[in-house]
Each structure stands twice: as C-alpha cells, then as structure tokens.
Amino acid sequence: MEDRSEFESGTPPVPDGQLIAPPYPERIAAPPLSEPTAPPAYSPPVAPPDSPHGRAPRGRASFGALLAAALLGGVVGAAAIGGGLWALDRTLTAPTPTPSRGVTQASTATTLAMPTEPLEAVAAKVVPSVVNIAVESSGAFGSTSSAVGSGVIIRQDGYILTNNHVVEGATSIVVRLGTTDIPAKVVGTDPTSDLAVIKIDKTGLPAAVLGSSASLQVGETVIAVGSPFGLDKTVTSGIVSALHRTNLSQDQSGVTSYTNLIQTDAPINPGNSGGALADMSGAVVGINTLIYSPTGQLGTSQSAGIGFAIPVDFAKTIADQLVAGKKITHPYLGVSAATVTPAIAQYYSLPVDSGALIQQVSAGSPAEAAGLRVGDIIVRVDDHVIATSEDVFSAIRGSAIGQKITIEVARDTKRVTMDATLASDASVK
C-alpha cells in the first residue's frame, strides 16, 4: 500500500488506472458497496468486488485542465462526499503535540496567543525563499505542454524542494528568481511521498528557515506562499485546521502516500504545489501539496478553504537523502488489504464490521514471518485503532525500518496478537 500524475494542456480530467499489484504489498483494493441477497458464510473471505464508485481524480492543473488527486475512499479523517483532493501542481502562465510557538498557558486552560509578528513581516521573511517553477513536458503525438508550480529554496547553493508531481516527466525546468529565469535539473525524486529536489547553478540564495511541524497546534496562524495559477510570490493566510490527515492516491505509475498531512484554510490553489506553509516566526512548517474540491472539478470556486501540506519534518528527511544521492526507502510490512465496512462484514459474515481485511501476504515479508494470514482482519497496530486499510498504511509509514510493531487481528471468532519487525521496501522496488 504504498503517485504521481500526468498533465496534458487542454485535456479534460480523466480517471486514473487500476490499482497496481505487488511488489508494493500495502496497496489496497476498492471495497464493494452493494450487498447480495444471500450472504455466504465466512470462509475466510476473498477479495471483495470493486467499488462502482471509483476514485476521485488527481493530477496537475492549468487554466484548461486539471487532473484531480486520486483518492482511495475519499478524504481520510474527514466527511467528504462527492468531492476529491486535487494536486496543486503546475498551471499554465498562470506525535502528541507539545506546546508550540504561539501557545501560552493560562491558569486553567491553554489559549492561543496573538501572532508573534505582523503578517507583513512574516511574509517578508518567507517570500524570497519561494520560487516559481516553469515546466515543459512532452505530450501526445509530439505535442508539448507548459505548466507552473512552486518550490522552496532549502540551501544557498541552489537546492530547491518541491513536489514530485510538479517536475514529473519534465523535459525542461526553469526557476524564476526575481526577473531572471534559470534552468534547473532534477536531483532526485520520491514518487511515493510526492517530494522532489531540483537544483539551479546559483549560489548565495535566500534559503528558507525550516521549522518543525511536530509542535504545530490546531488554530495556529500560518501563511501559504507560492504561485497559484502562475501568480508567483502570492501570500495567503489562515490557520492550521487539523493535523494528521492521511490519504492515498495513485495512477498507472504507482501509489503515493500522503501521511500526517497538515490541513489549513489558508487559500491555496493549483500552482501552489511545492510552495511553503509557514508559521508566524517565518519558518517553513509544510510543503503545500493538495487541495480539496467539493465538486471534484476545476471551477470558479477552486479554493474550498481546505488545503493540505506535507509536514516539513518528514519533507526535510526525504530532501536530505535526495541531496545526498541516497535511495529513498520506507518501512515495509508486506500485506495487501481492503477496508472492512458494515456492508462487507454482513456480506462475508465477518466477525468485525471495521478494520483491514488481509487479501495477500507477500512471501518472505515481515507479515509472513509474524504469522499474519489471508483472511485476518487487522484491528490495531500498536496504539493505532485500525478502521480502514489506509489506517494500516499510515501506521506503517509512520514507523521506522527495523522497528518492532504489535499487530492485533480478528481471526475467525478470536483476537490474535503478534509482533512484526518492519523491513525496508528497497528489496521490493
């Protein structure tokens, strides 16, 4: 269960392909939403039929087109009906939180303090470190497409952090510094986390101050900086609306995990992808990546006040590895699972009505070594209650390679607990 997206100027949104089978065993299958008239007995179950509802689209944006972000089950952790997450990417021309900055202790309650600096002072610190990224890609029948995204300067010697979907498939990348356009090259990408690092041949750049996302608090004031619809150096403000949002999206190239996302109501739009989400000290706390569209389509009310950013703590770890030329690896369990709903539970006479139904256990994987079986329903990983297959992925991706985790499953009418030591996914890529 471990994205990328494809952009073609002037083409309408299109759905993505089928879910990819292992070697990424944590990927999941879509559950059924209908019930048979005579449910079979529990045997254990096989893979449920595909959902007739499909997934919301995902992709890059332009004035003429936007491929929407693919969802497996909607916005995880939010009530999302009839909408979808959208990659903010390129546009034509256009664990328990600790008290953070901006939090003071009252005698009987914790209250949010006023911003530490005026918004204009914060913007003045962040804006110079956020750049416009213009990209050209090859299209169908020899055509080319042009688009724009954003990036954050992370080192004075020219390294820039952005989203993978901003530069994916690019044949030409140009970074705009003031009125100067400078060619850039890709240093490295990690499609499974939608992060990438590019570099320009320039020194003495205004590198951003990278803060910490671990201490963010809901309600904390933040600003978003980027190039919505190609309008570079755009600043908007809002608050941290929620934390620890998780979503999976995919296309024919692979599945992207968005884990522990920061949700904000700071207005962000297509083209903000790769830009900065900053706190009131002027430190970058997230990389803007997705927005939620109520209609699942590009329209006049594109910004719905629900945007998502990759936490900077995680993004910096990936960026450091990419700059060092290292291969990015992630924790690996080795199961393929589907979400159990009450309808599925009734259909298969399952012992629980929520959890992650194991459909495949990879040979030689930590899951096999731990004793997990096809038909087991994962209901808990360490202290994480598992209600969906996305919850399993989030728990695994939030752990470390070599870490021992405790997994509780429903097996027939019993509860079984076992330990698994997570491996690296390098061997299955």
Do residues 409 and 378 lie in contact, with contact meaning Cβ atoms separated by under 8 Å?
yes
Q: Which of 273, 303, 336, 389 is catalytic?
A: 273
Rg from Cα positions in the chain: 22
Distance CA 389, CA 135 (A): 35
Q: Which of 5, 9, 89, 165 is catalytic?
A: 165
Query: Hey, which residues does 175 pair with through a beta bridge?
Result: 133, 182
Active-site residue flag, 165: yes
**Which residue from 252, 344, 191, 338 is spatially nearest to 19, judged by alpha carbons?**
252
- Ramachandran sector of residue 153 (left: φ over 0; alpha: ψ -120 to 50; beta: rest): beta
Place of tokens 């400078």: 182
Place of tokens 């320009």: 200
Sign of the dihedral through C-alpha 70, 429, 253, 159: positive
Distance CA 71, CA 292 (A): 11
Tokens representing 332?
Answer: 């690996």
Do residues 142 and 127 lie in contact, with contact meaning Cβ atoms separated by under 8 Å?
no
Tokens representing 292?
Answer: 């939620």
Do residues 76 and 242 lie in contact, with contact meaning Cβ atoms separated by under 8 Å?
no
**Which residue from 291, 330, 319 is spatially nearest to 196, judged by alpha carbons?**
319
Q: Which residues contact 373 (CB under 8 A, 6 or more apart)?
A: 44, 358, 361, 411
Q: Which of 194, 376, 391, 425 is catalytic?
A: 194
Active-site residue flag, 194: yes
Q: Which residues contact 320 (CB under 8 A, 6 or more apart)?
A: none
Return the active site residues.
165, 194, 273
